[in-house]
């Protein structure tokens, strides 16, 4: 396989995961991969799947001894090219598997950001990624409201509430926002909260192990959320009732929110169970709500009074708690319009996959090949377990 072919195959494999990693006319995605992966790295990635496995199980397929495989896999995980998870049941062992480009490889570069990489990512976002996020971003992240914007008699499900999401997490880690670090490297940073990505449990433990973030308590996480919302940041967890993480996003830097903002009707493509209602009778035209809105849903007319474009409202609630005239109210969507959220990350990935199959039949064929590989690996694992049990 030529160098060009292996990187194209790697791009095509990554395009099967999460919201994808589509090709561009300029080929900038190949330059991104070459900046991260050696040819050897690419070959290793292509021989693995998202099924987490120990070095002993993949060494033969990689053509390496167990010790060499362990060293190679750990090196790639340390550089953010693979996901790893350490188990302690029955003795400590580390499992490795492939990961998506987003959330995954890109975010894992947050402590290694350079201007050159930032320029490549900025070009890629403009050429391809904003488009794929417009199509599939609603399955990836969702918007939940600011706590103070919700009336006290308004029941909010725990998965639509920051406190409810944080409750019961065994590990909570905060990391610097990859989007703000990218813009910062380009000299275009917004200056808002940098430690703005909060990861949970297995994902948080990956960040801790590879020194991508720091451990915090639930109380510290909630303080970060409140600080971010004071700065006008939108709270966006993953679209699962039990998410692996949540981000505090701005309309200046963040890829998902920029993609949503670029759409003429953001309300149609965002996953949110709330929306704002405006009664501008007492509006003084101060414009505070306009400055807080991250999707340009609010403007001032000639009077001046605030005007709300409901097609652009994503229900974040930032405008409600900052309006001095109390002219804005956050409303819950009626039950028939509310989103049924996946229970966990695996169901979330399956939901994204179903969504993407509607747009790209080739995506189905590629995933069938991956699932075949996983099925074979699972069968081998079961056979090995039976052999150990009876012999």
Give the integer Cα–Cα distance in Å for 188 and 282.
Answer: 37
- Where would I find the beta strands (DSSP E) of 150-244? 172-176, 195-200, 213-215, 234-237
CA angle (339, 340, 345) in 5-degree steps: 115
Range list for CATH 1.10.10.10 in the chain: 3-100+360-390
CB of 276 closer than 8 Å to CB of 319: yes
Give the integer Cα–Cα distance in Å for 349 and 360.
Answer: 16
pLDDT at 368: 56
Give the integer Cα–Cα distance in Å for 47 and 13.
Answer: 11
pLDDT at 33: 98
Closest listed residue to residue 377, CA positions, set 95, 14, 24: 95
Backbone angles phi, psi at 360, to 5 degrees: -145, 100
Q: Token digits for 129?
A: 């990624």
Q: Token digits for 196?
A: 């703005």
Domain 3-100+360-390, CATH among 1.10.10.10, 3.40.50.1970, 1.20.150.20, 1.10.760.10? 1.10.10.10
pLDDT at 291: 92
CB of 128 closer than 8 Å to CB of 31: no
Q: Token digits for 203?
A: 């994902």
Q: Is 33 exposed, middle or buried (0-12, 13-18, 19+ CB in 10 A)?
A: buried
pLDDT at 139: 65
pTM of the model: 0.86
The H-or-E segment that residue 374 falls in is helix 361-390
Phi and psi based region of residue 23 (left: phi greater than 0; alpha: psi -120 to 50; beta: remaining): beta
Three-class SS state of 155? coil
pLDDT of the chain, 391 residues: tens digit per residue? 666 699 999 999 999 888 889 999 999 999 999 999 999 999 999 999 888 999 999 999 999 999 999 999 999 999 999 999 998 877 789 999 999 999 999 999 999 999 999 999 999 999 998 888 777 666 667 888 876 554 434 444 444 688 888 888 999 999 999 999 999 999 998 999 999 999 999 999 999 999 999 999 999 999 999 999 889 899 988 877 788 899 999 989 998 888 888 889 999 888 888 899 999 888 999 999 999 999 999 999 999 999 999 999 999 988 988 889 899 998 988 988 887 777 766 676 666 666 666 555 555 555 556 555 555 555 555 555 545 555 5
pLDDT at 286: 94
- For 377, other C-beta atoms within 10 Å of its C-beta total 17
pLDDT at 321: 81
pLDDT at 382: 56
- Where would I find the beta strands (DSSP E) of the chain? 83-87, 93-97, 172-176, 195-200, 213-215, 234-237, 245-249, 274-278, 298-300, 306-308, 328-332
Give the integer Cα–Cα distance in Å for 303 and 181.
Answer: 40
Three-class SS state of 70? helix
Phi and psi based region of residue 315 (left: phi greater than 0; alpha: psi -120 to 50; beta: remaining): left
Q: Using the 8-state DSSP alphabet, how is residue 78 labeled?
A: H
pLDDT at 4: 66
Give the integer Cα–Cα distance in Å for 218 and 292.
Answer: 26
């Amino acid at each position: 396989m030529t160098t060009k072919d292996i990187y194209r195959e790697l791009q095509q494999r990554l395009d099967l995961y999460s919201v994808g990693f589509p090709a561009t006319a300029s080929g900038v995605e190949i330059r991104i991969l070459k900046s991260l992966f050696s040819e050897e790295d690419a070959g290793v990635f292509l021989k693995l799947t998202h099924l987490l496995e120990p070095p002993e199980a993949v060494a033969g397929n990689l053509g390496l001894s167990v010790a060499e495989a362990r060293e190679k896999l750990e090196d790639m995980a340390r550089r953010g090219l693979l996901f790893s998870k350490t188990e302690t049941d029955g003795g400590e062992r580390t499992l490795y598997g492939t990961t998506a480009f987003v959330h995954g490889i890109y975010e894992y570069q947050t402590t290694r950001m350079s201007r050159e990489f930032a320029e490549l990512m900025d070009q890629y976002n403009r050429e391809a990624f904003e488009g794929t996020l417009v199509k599939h971003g609603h399955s990836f992240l969702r918007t939940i409201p600011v706590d103070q914007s919700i009336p006290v008699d308004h029941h909010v499900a725990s998965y639509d509430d920051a406190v409810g999401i944080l409750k019961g997490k065994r590990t909570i880690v905060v990391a610097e926002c990859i989007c703000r670090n990218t813009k910062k490297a380009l000299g275009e940073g917004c200056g808002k909260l940098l430690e703005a990505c909060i990861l949970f449990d297995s994902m948080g433990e990956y960040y801790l192990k590879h020194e991508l973030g720091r451990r915090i308590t639930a109380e510290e996480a909630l303080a970060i959320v409140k600080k971010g919302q004071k700065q006008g940041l939108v709270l966006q967890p993953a679209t699962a009732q039990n998410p692996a993480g949540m981000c505090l996003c701005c309309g200046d830097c963040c890829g998902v929110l920029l993609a949503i903002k670029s759409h003429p009707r953001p309300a149609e493509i965002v996953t949110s169970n709330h929306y704002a209602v405006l009664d501008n009778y007492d509006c003084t035209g101060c414009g505070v709500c306009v400055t807080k809105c991250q999707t340009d849903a609010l403007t001032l007319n000639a009077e001046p009074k605030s005007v709300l474009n409901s097609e652009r409202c994503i229900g974040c609630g930032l405008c409600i708690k900052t309006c001095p005239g109390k002219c804005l109210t956050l409303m819950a969507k009626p039950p028939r319009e509310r989103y049924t959220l996946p229970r966990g990350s695996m169901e979330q990935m399956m939901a994204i996959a179903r969504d993407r199959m509607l747009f790209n039949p080739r995506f189905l064929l590629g995933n069938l090949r991956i699932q075949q590989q996983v099925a074979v690996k699972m069968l081998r694992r079961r056979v090995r377990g039976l052999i150990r049990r009876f012999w």
